[in-house]
Structure 1
Amino acid sequence: MSVVAVVAVAAVGGALGAALGGYLSLGVLGCLVVVGQLLAYADVALPAAVPTPLGYTVWFGPHVLFGGGVAAAAYAVRRGYMDEGYRYHPAKDVTTPLSAHPKALAVGGAFGVLGGVFAWGYATLGVPFDPITAAVVLSAFAHRVLLGYPLVGEVRSGLLDMSPYERGERREPMTDGGRVVESNDRPAESSSGVPNVTTRFVVEPFAPWQADWRSALALGVVVGLPASVLASLTASALLAFGLAAAALLGFVVREEVPVCYHVALASGMAVLALGPADATAATFAASVSLPVAVVVGTVGGVVVAVFGELLQRVFYAHAETHFDAPFAAVFLFGLCLGLLDIAGVATLPF
């Protein structure tokens, strides 16, 4: 593909992420990844013009669609487009489609290209970590800087302390005719209709239905084990990732959807690090036993789940825009695997 073509693909992908909303676009991408992995497993050849692996390449992947959607949400709040009530700072709302706002789509497209450039640069340099997850992280920091948001946010309790949320503590007292507004009520709105962010929670944990250390450990085991089996059988980390990402489409009908794509991806990466480079399903099975792969992959899943919980407490809970702790956790985990590869005790799985 020519430079113009790949840039155009990234721009369209970023705009699509904005149009659908960050997490819904990631769900659609997960479906695309699953299709691509099933076709590859069935040895069905795709046209030469289609970059593979489908849905997870330098110029079309989560750093493009999802990164574009996240940046567009941050921009939309600055422009007053997102005027619906939201439990957190509205710029963290990465499920609302922005298809009705051309400027937000343009910002999504621009950050799609930026994410593609980041990933391409990392891949060209041959860095010892996954270029795609690294690009997701760098894109998140970039939109905060470029759109005027703080990198971390104001820490009003301990940096890692999520207990104020459990107690329903707000940044300022809210009253309505003398009645104290309960923590599960909608935030008060300003005269412009935009939620008044002074009524935000003291801390805003990412995916609060699973934001504790015990849940992280459980998620690592429950998701890491089957993801390890799939990675061992297919010699790919992407099938389990695609299935976990596709589950995010559940945000269409409910809010409390398990967010576990980071565990699925990292578990697969840990398994692949055990085998030879560019292994097929047959050669991987011949070189790594399934029990060993399952144990290593599950441990990897637990580690990245804990990384994710730690990172959401540092870079999401106190901030004003979305920072994807799951992808950041995979980046950090991939960096660890890259260092092990340099030390000669593992195979670089990306």
Structure 2
Amino acid sequence: MSPSLLLQVPVFGIGVEQLLLLLVTALAGGAFGAAVGALPAFIFTGFVVFLGEGVAILQREVGAVADIPAGELAAGITGVIGFGPITGPHIAFAGGVAASAYAGKKYPEMNPADEGYHFGKDITYAFGTKPDILAVGAIFGALGMLLFRFLNGLFINVVGVMPPTDFLAVSVFTTAFLARPVFGYPLVGRPAGDGLLDMGPFERDEKRTATDGGAVSSRPATEPWLPHQYEWAGVTAIGLVGGVLAGFIWLETGSFFLGYGLSAISLLFLNLGVEKIPVTHHITLLGSVGAAVAAPAVGFDPLIVLVGGLFGAASALVGEVTQRMFYSHSGTHVDPPAMAIGIMMLFVGVLAILGVLPSAGYL
């Protein structure tokens, strides 16, 4: 064994050599997210997770394959690649988000639209090979990896309990919040209407002159995360639908992340400009968790998937509250699905630790 592997970093739970390997790869992963754009990077996450979960389902059915123990290959695809330093949302997506925030201030002339949301919120924009933008993505990708490893390692290896929430999701929105003051944006922003939750200015097509990204621009006074997915009734409806479907997927396959992967893949159509594609990965992930925590107590399949629907609806509504509070009034992207997952899984994790729920899902 390499001597450096003997030197463990308890709060990270791995050796120095492995930590350095992850750090170097996360720098490249964050730069990759900046190069291709945050949303395309997350779509890659969906494809990789979908592949990993498909392999996992196959291996659970057939057991070990040749010299590969059952589950080991799938864990590598989903965990090491999909949620690791190559396409992990806390690295590649986070790097792309930070790159957009930086470019919104540094290069407003890149903005392909004359009017609209602030360029710092454009997570579909691929920045190609511009070195300074790639460097920003790299730094924030590395920060995302370190924060996730630190928080997980702190609870598992130091405190000695399971993580009480999904720290990958926490890392995604924490680095996005960090990018705002770093690049000169307001942390939350000043609402144009009657409080943080009011979408009325958007509905009335009110405009404001904004300089929080460096350049003066006329843009909507309030900017909902998804103009086609912000009304309470519609958000609840898609939450119920996505949660039920994800609950069924978990019930039939045992996979927490297959529905999540499908949701992420569906964003390819949104990225290509298909109108009104809903964003559902925070819904399907919690739908599968809801089904899993309900199954031991309920034991009736139709009711299990309905509980998945309720969890999906709750996550959708939490995402909507967070977007109204933290996305709509400043000039950069802070991810409502990541905030919803972090909050909902904190609820699930704490109740599981207290013994109220039989499990904490994938935690």
TM-score normalised over the length of structure 1: 0.85
CA distance in 1: counterparts of 2:127 and 2:78, whole angstroms: 29
Q: Which residue of 2 aligns with 1:162?
A: 199
The alpha-carbon deviation at position 240 of structure 1 amounts to: 0.2
How far apart are 1:293 and its partner, in Å? 2.1
> Where does structure 1 lack aligned partners over 5 or more consecutive residues?
173-186, 277-285
**Superposition deviation, residue 58 in structure 1:** 5.5
Q: Alpha-carbon deviations, 1:290-314, whole Å to 9, x = none? A: 2232021110001011101111100
8 Å Cα contact 1:58-1:131 kept in structure 2: no
- Give 2:182's match in structure 1, choosing from 115, 140, 146: 146
Identity %: 36
* Aligned twin of 2:254: 235
- Displacement, 1:63? 0.9
Change in Cα spacing, 1:48 to 1:317, as seen in structure 2 (3 Å) is closer
User: Which residue does the alignment assign to 2:360?
Assistant: 348
Supply the distance in 2 between the matched residues of 1:58 and 1:21 (Cα, whole angstroms): 18
Question: Residues 48 and 208 from structure 1, CA distance in 2 versus in 1: closer, same or farther, beyond 3 angstroms?
Answer: closer
State the 1:230 CA deviation: 0.5
Could you tell me which amino acid in structure 2 is paired with residue 62 of structure 1? P
Structure 1 partner of 2:11: none
Q: Secondary structure at the match of 2:188?
A: coil
Residue 125 (str. 1) matches residue 154 (str. 2): yes
Alpha-carbon shift at residue 55 of structure 1 (Å):
4.4
Partner in structure 1 of residue 13 of structure 2: none
Match of 2:145 in 1: 116
Cα deviations across residues 278-331 of structure 1 (Å, max 9, x unaligned)?
Answer: xxxxxxxx9954223202111000101110111110001111100111110111
Matches of 2:74 and 2:323, distance apart in 1: 39
Q: Give, as a single letter, the amino acid of the residue that structure 1 aligns with 2:226.
A: A
CA contact (8 A) 1:220 1:302 kept: yes
Aligned partners of 2:300 and 2:26: how far apart in 1?
A: 39
In 2: Cα distance, 1:146 partner to 1:152 partner? 13
Paired residue secondary structure (1:42): helix
CA shift at 1:53, angstroms? 2.9
Distance in 1 (alpha carbons) for counterparts of 2:323 and 2:178? 17
SS at match of 2:228: helix
Cα distance in structure 2, aligned partners of 1:125 and 1:331: 17
Unaligned runs of 5+ in 2: 1-16, 60-64, 156-162
Instruction: Determine the C-alpha separation between the residues in 1 that align with 2:38 and 2:74.
Output: 29
Which of the numbers 62, 77, 95 marks the counterpart of 1:68? 95
Superposition map of 1:179-198 within 5 A: 196-197=216-217
Matched, 1:24 2:61: no
**Cα shift at 1:119:** 0.8
Tell me, yes or no, if the aligned pair for 1:28 and 1:249 is still in contact at 8 Å.
Answer: no
In structure 2, relative to structure 1, the CA distance for the partners of 1:292 and 1:49 (3 Å cut) is closer
Deviations 1:223-274 (A, max 9, x none): 1111110112222221000000011111342153311111011111222334
Q: CA 1:14–1:30 in 2, change beyond 3 Å: closer, same or farther?
A: same
* 1:1-350 paired onto structure 2 within 5 Å: 2-43=18-59, 45=68, 50=76, 52-53=78-79, 55-57=81-83, 59-60=85-86, 61-80=88-107, 82-85=110-113, 87-126=116-155, 127-158=163-194, 159-171=196-208, 196-197=216-217, 199-254=218-273, 256=275, 257-274=277-294, 288-346=299-357, 347-349=359-361, 350=363
- Per the TM alignment, residue 83 of structure 1 is displaced from its structure 2 partner at its CA by 3.0
Q: Deviations over 1:117-148 (max 9, x none)?
A: 11111111223001111111211111112222
Following the alignment from structure 2 to structure 1, what is the Cα–Cα distance between the partners of residues 283 and 51? Answer: 20
Amino acid of the structure 1 residue aligned with 2:79: P
Q: Using the alignment, how far apart are the partners of 2:200 and 2:76 within structure 1? A: 48
CA contact (8 A) 2:349 2:360 kept: yes
| Bigger helix fraction | 2
Shift of 1:20: 1.1
Describe the SS at the equivalent of 1:209: coil
**CA shift for structure 1 position 49:** 10
**Rounded Cα–Cα distance in structure 2 between residues aligned with 1:320 and 1:49:** 37
Give the superposition deviation at 1:195. Answer: 6.9
1:157–1:255 CA distance, 2 compared to 1 (3 A):
farther
